[in-house]
Amino acid sequence: MPDTIRSSSDDISFDDFDEINSPRPTATDFDAVVDRALSRRRFLGGGIAFGASAFVMGTTALTPARTSADASAAGSRLGFDAVAANGLDTITVPDGFSWHVVARWGDPMFPDAAAFDQASRGTGASQERAFGDNNDGMAMFAHQGRTILAVNNEYTNRAIIHGNRASLLPENADDVRKGKAAHGVSVVEVIERDGFWQIVQDSPFNRRITADTPMDITGPARGHDLLKTAAEPSGTRSLGTWNNCGNGRTPWGTYLACEENFNAYFSASDPTYTPSDALGRYGVGRKDWGYAWATADERFDLSKHPNEPNRAGYIVEIDPLDPTSVPKKRTALGRFKHENAEVVVAANGHVVVYLGDDERGEFLYRFVSDGKYALGADNRDLLENGRLYVARFTDDMRGEWVELTPAATGMATDAEIRIHTRQAASAVGATTMDRPEWVAAIPHRIEAYCCLTNNRNRGIKPNAGGDPTPVGGPNPRAANLYGQIVRWVPDDGDHAADHFDWDLFVTAGNPTVHDDAQAGSTNVTAENMFNSPDGLGFDSRGLMWIQTDGNYSDAGDFAGQGNNQMLVADPVSGEIRRFLVGPRQCEITGITFAPDRRTVFIGVQHPGEKGDSHFPDGGQSVPRSAVVAIRRDDGKPVG
């Protein structure tokens, strides 16, 4: 039986797991990097200044963050009363708003599906007909008067889904089947009845996509030798998708599921197996994260199928309106730990997709399609081919998209760049970032934002490829506890332009504990403070919804911040206000709006991941991730 990290895997993050299972290269010149960071801090007067006063802007029109006092003086656009931080095991929303659960892990999606069983927590067979676990990114599609919701099911908390086992881990083949079926994507029709959204169980659109669903591999890497396996020697097809984190949606009506910590599912039955450096860069190692998939499906046994991990880590394009369609892995958008995929159409018609690689010290990317989008045309394969770029930021508040070509990277082919994308980005000296999570582009303006969630290795350790992580640019704090949101304005009002201006919209912090850079930027106050921004989305008014996945201890550096939460921000004024507090030990992730804008749907992921929640059903019930609908009591639009 392949090894798994059996004890405490629910208590450590994917990044921590990777650093244990696939140790980082030793830094040789890192003392020099830290010295440089420290002297820069001294130069700035003992602490790094943030917010409007910190940045001397050039001639471009970035709007620096202003204080909340400034914002209220100018008249707030946010339109609700702030919610106080708390540690309750429920959802808290502002006065005048209400919430209800739309779909939970294990809810039946088909008329013949079994109800969720609290004792067994489901079987392989029941899970294949039920809503997946740990819902994350999602998007809503309106079609002929029906409303179809596509939702990522990122991963499972083994101690919860296998809580019926003494080991709190999968113990047999059916447990593994259940775990694989809890991953992937759930596509469900939903309907509003008497003010409550619910699943339409007999809808022809309902579909479960799991770790076993057949997929096509498309784009530059299709058929490459590194994608060939004994079971699938053409390298053009694969089975399944897993660890789908954030999402995207295209103007032509498809859904993008983004494969993030795909590495954590592989293990090796041969104790002498050593992964290649190329696999090590992605954290693929001898042990898995406790899923034990290799015990029941040898695809996940690295000793037998060393190329299988090369077939994961992509953006997967899904047609949510055709349950018979074959999802397409879009290798043109690169292979890394994809967070989300923010799609915009540039002025010249090329499709631009912004992409984050969420790991400490990894990179921010941009794809620009070869073809052009046109309303009513056949746009289905615009993500098949295009140019892939990585971001390089400089301290003068400028940035550049560096194209990843064979000439620039030293790699032989475009295919290799799409498979070993991290190595390609390292080769061109891309800026190592504080864990790029979601990117969101503001509507009606040419401007984009990315959550840099936190990075305790900033200025301390290199990334997995050995690239230094110096303090500076958009990553201005060593051992970054709280995270920040960077924004950029492309030159010439063109998302396809190769240069941009940037600033920080907010640096999160705790002004009740710190009075230095750890207090955060001027738009962070005792009333709205948070840590670890992650999910991000704009509403039709151009207001930004920020979701957190951070430290919920409510103590020490995080005292007063309570459970994970969702905030709304005005990008123009810089004002930020807390809209929602989630239940215990969850993160808030995923956001989409009903077609009439009267409901916002958000995701509550992994409530009780350490054993302290019974959300959403209370009592002694099993905690279950859920999609939650939030509406105004007066029925007016929420965004």
Residues forming the site for ligand FEO (CB under 6 A)? 154, 245, 260, 339, 358, 437
Closer Cβ to ligand FEO, 391 or 397, answer by number: 391
Binding segment for Ca ion among 59-67, 381-389, 434-442, 513-521 (CB under 5 A)?
A: 434-442
Closer Cβ to ligand FEO, 247 or 310, answer by number: 247
Contact flag: residue 359 with Ca ion (CB under 5 A) = no
Q: To which H or E segment does residue 16 belong?
A: helix 14-21
CA distance 383 to 144: 26
In whole angstroms, how close is the CB of 10 to ligand FEO at the nearest point? 15
Closer Cβ to Ca ion, 411 or 600, answer by number: 600
By the 8 A CB rule, do 256 and 315 touch? yes
Residues 561/566/568/573 CA torsion (nearest 10 deg): 40
In whole angstroms, how close is the CB of 336 to ligand FEO at the nearest point? 11
Closest CA to 176 of 240, 265, 238, 245: 265
Closer Cβ to ligand FEO, 345 or 448, answer by number: 448
**Which of ligand FEO, Ca ion, none interacts with 154 (beta carbon under 5 to 8 A by kind)?**
ligand FEO
- Which of 128, 232, 549, 570 contacts Ca ion by CB under 5 A? 549
Give the tokens for residue 451. Answer: 């959550």
Burial class (CB in 10 A: 0-12, 13-18, 19+), 166: exposed
CA distance 414 to 470: 29
Sheet bearing 398-403, strands edge to edge:
338-345, 350-357, 364-372, 386-393, 398-403, 499-507, 484-490, 448-452, 436-441
CA distance 233 to 223: 9
**Which of Ca ion, ligand FEO, none interacts with 232 (beta carbon under 5 to 8 A by kind)?**
none
Q: To which H or E segment does residue 440 belong?
A: strand 436-441
Closer Cβ to ligand FEO, 242 or 500, answer by number: 242
Binding segment for Ca ion among 217-225, 474-482, 526-534, 596-604 (CB under 5 A)?
A: 526-534
In whole angstroms, how close is the CB of 429 to ligand FEO at the nearest point? 24
Closer Cβ to Ca ion, 342 or 416, answer by number: 342
Closer Cβ to ligand FEO, 50 or 262, answer by number: 262
Closer Cβ to ligand FEO, 154 or 212, answer by number: 154
Closer Cβ to Ca ion, 437 or 570, answer by number: 437
CA distance 319 to 522: 43
Give the tokens for residue 540. Answer: 């039709």
Closer Cβ to ligand FEO, 301 or 437, answer by number: 437
By the 8 A CB rule, do 255 and 276 touch? no
In whole angstroms, how close is the CB of 154 to ligand FEO at the nearest point? 6
Sheet bearing 237-239, strands edge to edge:
237-239, 214-218, 328-330, 315-318, 255-259, 244-249
Binding segment for Ca ion among 111-119, 296-304, 407-415, 542-550 (CB under 5 A)?
A: 542-550
CA angle 498, 504, 510 (to 5 degrees): 155
Residue window 476-515: x/- pattern of binding to Ca ion, with contact defined by CB under 5 A: ----------------------------------------
Closer Cβ to Ca ion, 68 or 156, answer by number: 156
| Coil, strand or helix at 179 | helix
Contact flag: residue 534 with Ca ion (CB under 5 A) = yes
In whole angstroms, how close is the CB of 549 to Ca ion at the nearest point? 4
Using CB under 5 A, which residues numbered 375 to 414 contact Ca ion?
Answer: none
Q: Which amino acid is at 593?
A: F
Read off the DSSP letter of residue 110. Answer: S
**Which of Ca ion, ligand FEO, none interacts with 227 (beta carbon under 5 to 8 A by kind)?**
none
**Which of Ca ion, ligand FEO, none interacts with 260 (beta carbon under 5 to 8 A by kind)?**
ligand FEO
Q: To which H or E segment does residue 30 belong?
A: helix 30-43
| Coil, strand or helix at 425 | helix
What is the secondary structure of 286-355 as a DSSP string?
A: SSBSS--GGGT-GGGBTTT-TTGGGG-SSEEEE-TT-TTPPPEEEGGG--S-EEEEEEEE-TTSEEEEEE
CA distance 229 to 235: 7
Closer Cβ to ligand FEO, 65 or 353, answer by number: 353
In whole angstroms, how close is the CB of 339 to ligand FEO at the nearest point? 5
Determine how many CB atoms are found less than 10 A away from the CB of residue 114.
16
In whole angstroms, how close is the CB of 534 to ligand FEO at the nearest point? 6
In whole angstroms, how close is the CB of 15 to ligand FEO at the nearest point? 9
In whole angstroms, how close is the CB of 249 to ligand FEO at the nearest point? 18
Binding segment for Ca ion among 26-34, 310-318, 397-405, 430-438 (CB under 5 A)?
A: 430-438
Q: How many CA atoms lie within 13 A of 617 on its CB side?
A: 14
Residue window 175-214: x/- pattern of binding to Ca ion, with contact defined by CB under 5 A: ----------------------------------------
In whole angstroms, how close is the CB of 403 to ligand FEO at the nearest point? 25
In whole angstroms, how close is the CB of 58 to ligand FEO at the nearest point? 32
Contact flag: residue 362 with Ca ion (CB under 5 A) = no
Closer Cβ to Ca ion, 175 or 359, answer by number: 359
Give the tokens for residue 151. Answer: 């939702």
Binding segment for Ca ion among 88-96, 322-330, 412-420, 528-536 (CB under 5 A)?
A: 528-536
In whole angstroms, how close is the CB of 579 to ligand FEO at the nearest point? 20
The site that binds Ca ion (CB under 5 A) totals a number of residues, namely 3
In whole angstroms, how close is the CB of 563 to ligand FEO at the nearest point? 17
CA distance 613 to 635: 31
Longest dimension (CA), the chain: 67
- Contact positions vs Ca ion (CB under 5 A): 437, 534, 549
